[in-house]
Amino acid sequence: MVGVLIGMKLAVLRNTATGGKKAWAALGATAGLTLAVATIVLSFLDFAHPRMLMDLLAVTFALWALGWAAGPAFTGEAPIGGHHFQRQPIPRRTLTLGLLASAMVAVTTLVTLLAFTALVVFAARLSPWAVAVAIPAAILLLLLVVLASRVVSLLFATLASSRLGGVVTASVTAAMVALASFSWVVFIAVYILLEHGFPARVSTVLRALPSSWGLLSVEAASRGDWWGAAGPLAGLAVLAVALFGVWSRLLGTQPITRAVVRGSSAEWAAPRGWAARGDLGLFYLRELRTWWRDPLRTQNITLPVVFALLTALFPVTLDYTGFFPFAGAGAAVMGAATCANLYGQDGTALWMTLTVPGKEKADVRARQLAWLTVFGPMTLAMTVAGVVVHGEAAMLPWALAANLAALGAGAGLLVWIAVVGLVPGPDPHRSKHSPLDHGDVTGQSLLMFLLTSVAILPALGVALAGHLLGQAALTWASVPVAIVVGAAAYLGFGRLAAGRLAETGPELLQLMRTGKRPNAAAGTVRPPTAFETMGAGSRLRMWGSMAVGIIALFPQGLVPLGIKLDGSPDKVWFLALYLPEAWQWPTIAVMILIGLAGFGGMFAVYRAETRRVRAD
């Protein structure tokens, strides 16, 4: 049974590995491998503070576990799941064991196992006896994260088929993403920690997490405390068994009856008034009804809002409320990132648009408008409320400009990415019991996040210039600049999207029907892009540059710049602000330069690769 399931999984992976998919998988593997190596390197470091290494490793392991738990919300469901075998007479226990084994066969598990060998390194530095404990602990930890991932995704899948459940799962996911995206805080702030170590309370909480139990056990073994070593190990084993039990219970249960959403009654069904006045109104009404009724869309709304709120709230632990005004802009950017698969989510329903030709533009514009209707007023309210709570009216032009630019650019880029970067998934009526069973939208979300963030920069640049020159009027000019940039992106990218939709509608439909892009031999279809063909080395260089660019430009360059300009004495966790006054400006400048160089490097690699592909 176990062998059969592993074989099936490998077959599925083999049969679905297209160029683009391989490219993303390679990117994921590269990033994962980098993180794993970083984790191991961490375990070799020496720290002055005695508890420091263990606390840092505890944070790292917790992040790995968090990644496993939050991952399925983006990557969709596992290729082989319990529902495929519901009608086969296989004992549940055997099936769960088989599924677990097949889940272990993955690059992600290998990479994670590699990261967890940091535990063995940690042990080896303590005593040989500790190593004997570390090896089973690492394996148990791996089992635990894989099991947790599956159980969480199954629980989410059951919950997410109702709108309320959608809110719950999206909030939990947003919390996990927000926590994970703050992971860099720990490492940036490491120089503060180096002196004082982790606050005792944080340390205690960290060690209580199951992901730290391996460390506890190893540490106890090194002291010769055998009970202390056995206890956490047993705890890990018990937890793994319990999760296994929950998983096999969940596999057996019938899908929970969904809360069925009802449509309008006969007299309200027909579009009337403004909606009946033209194609745009008709499509717009359809979109709004879908936003209101689809649990998946509920998640798409909840996740960005909760993410933005939590991101603004985290720094409050350091008594810093400076992110509050930007919660609205953040929600708009994330909203664009999570909603970028509008066409993919609708599945093959595209055929209806194709049977009324010439309406593509109205369809695209209606989707843009509907997204704006959902996110516009909500994020603007968040911005205003954020400025009020933060209590600094001078932040209003900055926050407003960022929010407006994100809304316009998001609404524009969203439909364009939805068409050119469509991620096929199962049709809605086939996945209505498991709305999480969508295509892997991680890459699409990342790209949207990045592009929308870049669109905010011109307006913030104007605000910055106004601030530097001490001209309030210029600072306020950032708002019209944001509106112009946003409107241009809205109109321009919407146009591009409509053109592309009209041109390649049948190909997009084919993509959604089969899950594969029509092959290049078919004639008019574009050849594979550099992104799909580039080698591992180039890929590493490209994404590595991007990561450097993001970290240096945004959190370590522009944000401390803003804080400094703001005249705030808060240091939060920005390197520049901890340095002596004379060094602060140069550091910020260098960080921004490094960031820009990172993005420059990324594009340079991509362009070189594109030229190579064209030359072939």
Query: Under the rule (CB under 8 A), what is the footprint of another protein?
Result: 260-266, 269-272, 276, 279, 282, 285-286, 289-290, 293-294, 346-349, 351-352, 354-359, 427-429, 432, 506-507, 509-510, 513, 518-519, 521-524
Quote the CA–CA distance of 411 and 287 in Å, as a whole number: 14
Q: Tell me the closest approach of the beta carbon of residue 147 to another protein, in angstroms.
A: 32
Choose between 358 and 470: whose C-beta lies nearer to another protein.
Answer: 358
CA distance 567 to 577: 11
Distance of closest approach, residue 459 Cβ to another protein, in angstroms: 35
Q: Output the smallest distance, CB 504 to another protein, in A.
A: 9
Measure the CA angle with vertex 277, ends 274 and 282; round to 5°. Answer: 80
> d(Cα 226, Cα 177) in Å, to the nearest integer?
37
Q: Are 459 and 478 in contact (CB under 8 A)?
A: yes
Q: What are the angstrom distances between the C-alpha of 370 and each of 11, 160, 186?
A: 41, 22, 39
Q: Which residue has the tokens 């996990």?
A: 176
- As given in the structure block, the two tokens for residue 134 are 């570390």
Q: What DSSP character marks residue 29?
A: H
Residue placing its CB nearer to another protein in the complex, 254 or 264: 264
Q: Which is nearer to another protein, 17 or 270 (CB)?
A: 270
Cα–Cα distance list, 150 to 62, 114, 174, 435, 455 (Å): 17, 20, 18, 16, 37
Q: Which is nearer to another protein, 249 or 526 (CB)?
A: 526
Q: Give whichever of 345 and 556 is closer to another protein, judged by the CB atom.
A: 345
Cβ closer to another protein: 263 or 569? 263
CA 302 to chain centre: 14
Instruction: Taking the CA atoms of 483, 489, 494 and 499 in sequence, report the sign of the dihedral they define.
Output: positive
* Shortest spacing between CB 108 and another protein, in angstroms: 30
Count of alpha carbons within 13 Å of 136, Cβ hemisphere only? 16
Tokens linked to 434: 């498991």
Helix (H, G, I), strand (E, B) or coil at 555: helix
Nearest approach, Cβ of 274 to another protein (angstroms)?
A: 12
- Kindly state the smallest distance separating residue 523's Cβ from another protein, in Å: 7
- Compute the least distance from the CB of residue 432 to another protein, in Å: 5
Q: Which is nearer to another protein, 358 or 567 (CB)?
A: 358
Q: How far is the CB of 502 from another protein (least distance, A)?
A: 10
Choose between 381 and 522: whose C-beta lies nearer to another protein. Answer: 522
